[in-house]
Structure 1
């Protein structure tokens, strides 16, 4: 149970670090007030209602208001990561050293109990001295 919890916690922490450092952009296309499409990785599909501006006819200059809106939301990741460990301050170095020392035994497999007296048989009991002398430790 402890190993399973440890693996789950490790994966969660790795995902938190990954998601906090990655930047991404969400593109959305609205036609009026209705969301038509949104995309994380590519271009959004349009609804086909965009106004086509014809630059050839300069005598008829009618400008229609476009009902479609393209929205782009950019979420910036964390860029200022401190990855160099030799430039840590003294307090931070002490904390890292204490943390590693305290948690080092979590990753070491426990050794089997070595019993050197396993094959040894005690001598035969000739008489029970404690019962004969009526001396008992309480």
Structure 2
């Protein structure tokens, strides 16, 4: 669940900093066209003639005859982008090359000495009974 949330927040941060917007084109009260755009793009429904009622309606409605609305995800002013400054020293580069680049594969011998056939000598007396130590 944490991975899904972190991926979602990363995509949201990327979308807010790159300027991706959700553009909607309204004709009258109806949404005619909607797109995900990079920045603001003028959307058109293809109606080139003006409707005479557009000027008489007034500004009481949210959407006039043909209107574009953009919804963008933005970051606030306190957001600071992280900047990384990498400085490689000579000792780090030498250690990195010797460990990862020039690594010699380990050579294992095929003759393994196994003690599977070893049998310990039999006990002469039982030490648990002798010292009266029992696990409970």
TM-score grouping bracket, smaller chain normalisation: 0.3 to 0.5
Q: TM-score normalized by structure 1?
A: 0.43
Q: TM-score normalized by structure 2?
A: 0.44
